[in-house]
Structure 1
Amino acid sequence: MEAKEAEAELQGQADIWKYMFSFADSMAVKCAVELRIADIIDMHGGPITLSQIVAAIPDALSPDINYLTRIMRLLVRRKIFTAHHPSDGDGDTLYGLTHSSRWLLHDSKMSLAPMLLMEDHPWLMAPWHCFSQCVKEGGIAFNKAHGREIWDFASENPEFNNLFNDGMACTARIVMRAIVSVYKDGFGSVGSLVDVGGGTGSAVAEIVKSYPHIRGVNFDLPHVVATAPMYDGVKHVGGDMFQAIPNAEAVFMKWIMHDWSDESCVKILKNCRKAIPEESGKVIIVDVVLQPEGNGLFDDTGLVFDLLMIAHSSGGKERTELEWKKVLEGGGFPRYNIIKIPALLSIIEAYPK
């Protein structure tokens, strides 16, 4: 029994060391993205040596291959890259891509690189250091870190605004591929669709591209739609979802509700209800449905995203199905249906009747 207790105590110590430095994983991956290591390997067409990688790093004035060797050693252990060692022990190790590093390619349509650069930027890391302060005295973590809320910070800081929009756009492409592949019948009967909080419009553009009969409206704050590119079949409208939402047969909201408190979500939903037909209208919410005890592929990430909401939102949170039910009913949507898709998020169809 004493041996088991000693083993458990040692394991506990090892766990704390691991969690203490878990940020090292994200910083190493961020480094790989900034150096475009995955892109360099991909452009070569197969595994290459560290010397070849270093020679192709953009703007590398005096590269240090020893630093890169140590960073790549950890990334190989984390299965971000592969390492092929010569069988005879003579020659250089060749580094290749994995299914994970393919999500770090800058020029791929299905890339998480912009989101990673956004989330791991010092601007967005700073609020995480305010968690204990938030527990002690309440308030908004982003505000404590930067003296203003995230939306005000974005409207005043073009560099941050672009970083944020690029991050949102890349995740929109990934999630929209999953939605369009699974939710075929859901869009078929919709003639007009307004994407509330649609950013620069990439999500609604993807829907309209797959369903050309839909008249799409991309609706977001004026400073956001000001930088939005033109898309066929999509109209950009600036405004405030807490004031009014453009009329359409259906309202689409991807990763919007989790940014807000229950009270704010009820306000948004009430405006959605006014914007859609009483009999045939619906709201399509794409967000996390938390499974705190779940063992699904993304259930653990869902809990992390709930903490992300503390760091970056103005009182937002991820919700369990019961919490969604309460918010939907409060906003005038007594009937709903949850549809699983191959992604971190789920589709929640909500109806006024």
Structure 2
Amino acid sequence: METKETLALVQGQAQIWQQMIGSVDSMALKCAVELRIADIIHSHGGPITLRQIASGIDSTSPNIPYLARIMRLLVCKNIFTEQHQPVDSGEETLYGLNQASRLLLHDAELSLAPMVLLRNHPWLLAPLHWLSQCVKEGGTAFNKAHGCEIWDFTSKNPEFNNIFNDGMACTTKIVMRVILAEYKDGFGCVGSLVDVAGGTGGTIAEIVKAHKHMRGINFDLPHVVATAPMHEGVSHFGGDMFESIPNADAILIKWVLHNWSDEHCIKILENCRKAIPEKSGKVIIVDIVVEKDGNDLFDETRMVFDLTMMAYTAGGKERTELEWKKLLEEAGFGRYKIIKIPAIQSIIEAYPN
């Protein structure tokens, strides 16, 4: 009969082992994306055998036993489905898609495949090895690993810039679908909207498309908007959010503030406040709100995101409601409201009075 001490030791081992080899789960997921396994299954219109998957891989001699072991783990992790059907020699296994693996399809409207490749790229994994050094002496893990900050690295490395932009774009599509469904009333009375750090304007274009009455302004650095395509109802405006922001009825700032320190965020938010009407204006922040003791599907992921911000940025972090409240008050926003949506991020409405 097991003693309490023995059981606790076994449970402790299981927990540490699970965390210790968790990176292998990520690598198996990356492998599935690189081999386009979800796309191969999808192209057949239903569950298929291991050999059929292998025949669709871009290789003249795929290693089927290796593939079988990878699929076994991904089925165990509920990324793919598995079913058995009888054949003359016994039975064969068929692998199919579920809601998770459909998000790995490369050409699907909603796909996380580019983000899987980004998050598991050696360039983004390297800084995570420097976390303990950051605790000891401060600094940015990304800088320690690569000799410069992430934004400098991105601007000097076209390959990484493309991977980064693709990863950001795919998550934007998913969260924008949620926002347009859950927050449609929030845009209803907004005549003009500025998307701060809006990139090439995809986000504001989606909002204006759904709200024809609205005038959209896509605001980003001059070299970013210089290559932005034209979108109906949207004008591009180049500038620096730390200097000033174009005037509008409301301002959207989506997944931007978590990249910056409190001091930087206060400056950005102060400029947002100056750009909107004192009595009727609002700032719409789309960002993570960390809850330590929450029971949401994404709670643990949000805390992991906080460590990635610590690793990749100089001062960026995911914030609790109390931390958001402090930022907003210091930037001159007397009221705020948090709207939870079925996504990693929440919507924070901030009002100047």
**TM-score of Structure 1 vs Structure 2, range by shorter chain:** over 0.9
| Counterpart amino acid of residue 60 in structure 1 | S
Instruction: Name the structure 2 match of 1:74.
Output: 73
Matched, 1:235 2:235: yes
Cα distance, 1:239 vs structure 2: 2.3
Instruction: Name the structure 1 match of 2:173.
Output: 173
Distance in 2 (alpha carbons) for counterparts of 1:200 and 1:103: 24
Instruction: Name the structure 1 match of 2:210.
Output: 210
**Which structure 1 segments of 5+ residues have no match?**
none
Instruction: Name the structure 2 match of 1:189.
Output: 189
Two-structure CA RMSD over aligned residues (Å): 1.5
> Aligned runs of 1:270-349 on 2, under 5 Å?
270-349=270-349
**Which structure 2 segments of 5+ residues have no match?**
none
Matched, 1:131 2:131: yes
Distance in 2 (alpha carbons) for counterparts of 1:228 and 1:161: 15
Q: TM-score, normalised by structure 1?
A: 0.96
Cα distance, 1:226 vs structure 2: 4.1
**Residue 226 and residue 74 in structure 1: after superposition, are their counterparts in 2 closer, same or farther (change >3 A)?**
farther
**Residue 17 and residue 276 in structure 1: after superposition, are their counterparts in 2 closer, same or farther (change >3 A)?**
same
Instruction: Name the structure 1 match of 2:162.
Output: 162
| Contact map agreement 1:250 1:276 (CA 8 A) in 2 | yes
Cα distance, 1:87 vs structure 2: 4.7
Q: Alignment partner of 1:104: what SS?
A: coil
Q: Alignment partner of 1:92: what SS?
A: strand
Instruction: Name the structure 2 match of 1:38.
Output: 38
| Cα deviation digits, residues 253-307 of structure 1 (max 9, x gap) | 1111111111111000011112112221110000111111111111111111111
| Contact map agreement 1:200 1:224 (CA 8 A) in 2 | yes
Distance in 1 (alpha carbons) for counterparts of 2:135 and 2:81: 42
Instruction: Name the structure 1 match of 2:64.
Output: 65
Q: Alignment partner of 2:252: what SS?
A: strand
Cα distance, 1:222 vs structure 2: 3.4
| Cα deviation digits, residues 105-138 of structure 1 (max 9, x gap) | 1111111111111111111111111100110000
Distance in 1 (alpha carbons) for counterparts of 2:327 and 2:86: 60
| Contact map agreement 2:336 2:348 (CA 8 A) in 1 | yes
Q: Alignment partner of 1:79: what SS?
A: coil
Distance in 1 (alpha carbons) for counterparts of 2:33 and 2:236: 32
| Cα deviation digits, residues 134-166 of structure 1 (max 9, x gap) | 100001111111111111111111111111111
Instruction: Name the structure 1 match of 2:267.
Output: 267
Distance in 1 (alpha carbons) for counterparts of 2:291 and 2:336: 18
Distance in 2 (alpha carbons) for counterparts of 1:65 and 1:311: 37
Instruction: Name the structure 2 match of 1:251.
Output: 251
Distance in 1 (alpha carbons) for counterparts of 2:136 and 2:19: 23
Matched, 1:105 2:70: no
| Counterpart amino acid of residue 63 in structure 1 | P
Q: TM-score, normalised by structure 2?
A: 0.96
**Residue 35 and residue 229 in structure 1: after superposition, are their counterparts in 2 closer, same or farther (change >3 A)?**
farther
| Contact map agreement 1:168 1:199 (CA 8 A) in 2 | no
| Cα deviation digits, residues 223-263 of structure 1 (max 9, x gap) | 43344333222223332211121222111011111111111
Return 228-237 or 68-77, whichever deviates more. Answer: 228-237
| Cα deviation digits, residues 296-321 of structure 1 (max 9, x gap) | 11111111111111122221111111
Return 5-14 or 89-98, whichever deviates more. Answer: 89-98
| Counterpart amino acid of residue 135 in structure 1 | V
Distance in 2 (alpha carbons) for counterparts of 1:202 and 1:209: 11
| Counterpart amino acid of residue 42 in structure 1 | H
Return 215-224 or 147-156, whichever deviates more. Answer: 215-224
| Contact map agreement 2:86 2:92 (CA 8 A) in 1 | no
| Contact map agreement 1:169 1:199 (CA 8 A) in 2 | no
| Counterpart amino acid of residue 340 in structure 1 | K
| Counterpart amino acid of residue 68 in structure 2 | T
Q: Alignment partner of 1:86: what SS?
A: strand
Distance in 1 (alpha carbons) for counterparts of 2:337 and 2:43: 44
Distance in 2 (alpha carbons) for counterparts of 1:42 and 1:48: 9
| Contact map agreement 1:141 1:310 (CA 8 A) in 2 | yes
**Residue 68 and residue 228 in structure 1: after superposition, are their counterparts in 2 closer, same or farther (change >3 A)?**
farther
Distance in 1 (alpha carbons) for counterparts of 2:182 and 2:143: 38
